[in-house]
Amino acid sequence: MAEKRPITVATGDGIGPEIMEATMHILEKAGAEIDPEFIDVGEKVYLTGNSTGIPQEAWESLRRTKVFLKAPITTPQGGGYKSLNVTIRTAMGLYANVRPCVSYSPVIENKHPDMDLVIVRENEEDLYAGIEHQQTPDVVQSLKLISRPGSERIVRYAFEYARQNNRKKVTCLVKDNIMKLSDGLFHQVFKEIAAEYPDIESSHYIVDIGMARIADTPEEFDVIVTPNLYGDIASDIAAQIAGSVGLAGSANIGDEIAMFEAIHGSAPDIAGKEIANPSGLLHGAIMMLVHIGQPEAAQKVHNAWLKTIEDGVLTGDMARGKASVGTKEFAAAVVERLGQSPSTLEPVTYSNKTIQKEKDIKRPKHEVKRELDGTDVFLFNNTLTVDEIGQKLERAAGDTFEFVMMTNRGVKVYPDGFSETFLSDHWRCRFQKGEGKQVKQSEIRELLSRIEDEQLDWIKLENLYRFNGKIAYSLAQGQ
């Protein structure tokens, strides 16, 4: 007999203990080789004054087992409590959020009977880095960070996941017609990595039309890979139209550690009544079994679950008015069907292919030549006219720089700007030395001093670089 794989398990709050008991019972009867280590996280821990909801022993267990099966937890009302999921995700580097959204028509009615897609959402970067600043009374900014290694890791994970789970196509959603550098990088990486997987079809949509198509014809998608914000939105659209919010599981995957759970919460309204549906957590557990290399057990549980619902054994939330069973009876019905497969619903197969990690891929190091082309100086001003600011900056440019242009909210306003745009108090002013001429950092410092001498209030700098000779900054509208 194979050695049992240690896993960390949190039974959670509300309906958590009931659905975890049902899930563990099914896994045990299916012959999953797991050795659970139970930890407390969530409400109880928050209420001891621990603002993360995660005690030291829990971190130690997670570091030891590297696999976490987590029931939903309750975040107490009131301020000061940090989201447990966000804390675990960021502290443990769980960069991929994986959420399958499947229709179980005709057992559970659905407008999209053939829907069967998986969203692979990047979990760490993008606008969720949470780097925000108010710069002037009128203007705040939120930094969108997309990195090449972060994009390579998530895109590779999506293709590897597709291979492991017998999926045929990966679709990338980005908005690179507008965000040419950030989303452009994600798309570029997608094209490079897709070429390494000729057995898997790849496609791409601009995210707005892509989302519309998910909502309208979800059956055309298989695996979707997308940056954090779009992934957040797409996951909820897809789960909602699949009608499976109570049924879906999700995984958060890192290079070392992974966490598996249901997508729903702790449902305090039905806690203790033994009527909760354990299916969402069970689906999280099935993903966990595939992840830890036990595809046979995963397949056995998944097919028995499909057969159970196909036979009309449903908890109240699935039955929608028809006869229903409680949590324990539902689990017993799944156990009874272990070894069986559904006939109307499509049976699943899982292979024992393993996922190749990005960090194990050896890439040749490419030399990157970086050249400083100039700088964008951002100013706060709500008293002077465009021409008055422009003339001061012409003087500040001196003999060293050319004052190329000034924009307001991205629209060129000087010289020869568009007078139709409304003007905020936030100005972006571009200084360069002319085609192909490099700038020294000391020259930028001197420029800033001259700008201060003109009584202008600069708030930040953004340097303009070329990488390997290619311009790596956006041009303003009208430039």
Per-residue string for binding with ligand NAD, 290-329, x by CB under 6 A? ---------------------------x------------
How close are the terminal C-alpha atoms of the chain, in Å? 69
Query: If DSSP codes are grouped into helix, strand and coil, which group holds residue 210?
Result: helix
Looking at the Cβ atoms of 171 and 277, the one nearer to ligand NAD is 277
Give me the count of residues in the chain.
Answer: 479
User: According to the binding rule CB under 6 A, does residue 397 interact with ligand NAD?
Assistant: no
Pick 62 or 393: Cβ nearer ligand NAD: 62
Q: Of the listed pieces 112-120, 141-149, 258-266, 402-410, which binds ligand NAD according to CB under 6 A? A: 258-266
Amino acid occupying residue 132 = E
Query: Please, what is the minimum distance in Å from the beta carbon of residue 53 to ligand NAD?
Result: 10
Query: Rounded CA gap, 315 and 313, in Å?
Result: 7
Stretch that binds ligand NAD, among 141-149, 152-160, 257-265, 348-356 (CB under 6 A): 257-265
Answer yes or no: are the C-beta atoms of 242 and 280 closer than 8 Å.
no
Residues 156-185 that bind ligand NAD (CB under 6 A): none
Give me the least distance between CB of 478 and ligand NAD, in Å please: 46
Closest CB to ligand NAD among residues 226, 266: 266
Residue closer to ligand NAD by CB (options 176, 261) is 261
Nearer of residues 174 and 275 to ligand NAD, judged by Cβ: 275
What CA–CA distance (Å, rounded) separates 415 from 18?
Answer: 68
Give yes or no for a cis peptide into 415 (omega within 30° of 0).
Answer: yes
Looking at residues 13 to 42 of the shown chain, list those that interact with ligand NAD (rule: CB under 6 A): 15, 19
Helical H segments across 243-383, by residue range: 279-291, 295-310, 316-319, 327-336
DSSP 43-85: HHHHTTT-TTS--HHHHHHHHHH-EEEE---PPPSSTTPPPHH
Q: Write out the two tokens for 216.
A: 């309208």
Q: CA-CA distance, 92 to 148, in Å (whole number)?
A: 20
The torsion defined by the Cα of 389, 390, 392 and 396, in degrees rounded to 10, comes to 130
Phi, then psi, of 298 in degrees rounded to 5: -60, -45
Using Cβ positions, the residue closest to ligand NAD within the complex turns out to be 265
Told to check if 227 binds ligand NAD by CB under 6 A, we report no
Cα dihedral across residues 259, 261, 267, 273: positive or negative? negative
Residue 11 CB, nearest approach to ligand NAD (Å):
12
Among 6, 265, 312, 478, binds ligand NAD (CB under 6 A): 265
Amino acid at 129: A
Phi, psi dihedral angles at 108 (to 5 degrees): -115, 120
Nearest CB to ligand NAD, comparing residues 85 and 136? 85
x/- binding map, residues 36-75, to ligand NAD, per CB under 6 A?
A: ------------------------------------xxxx
Q: Using CB under 6 A, which of 53, 218, 254, 280 touches ligand NAD? A: 280
* Phi, psi at 111, each rounded to 5°: -70, -15
Please tell me whether residue 447 binds ligand NAD under the rule CB under 6 A.
Answer: no
Number of residues that bind ligand NAD (CB under 6 A): 20
Return the residue of 270, 355, 372, 448 that touches ligand NAD, per CB under 6 A: 270
Binding site residues, ligand NAD, CB under 6 A: 15, 19, 72-75, 85, 246, 261, 264-270, 276-277, 280, 317
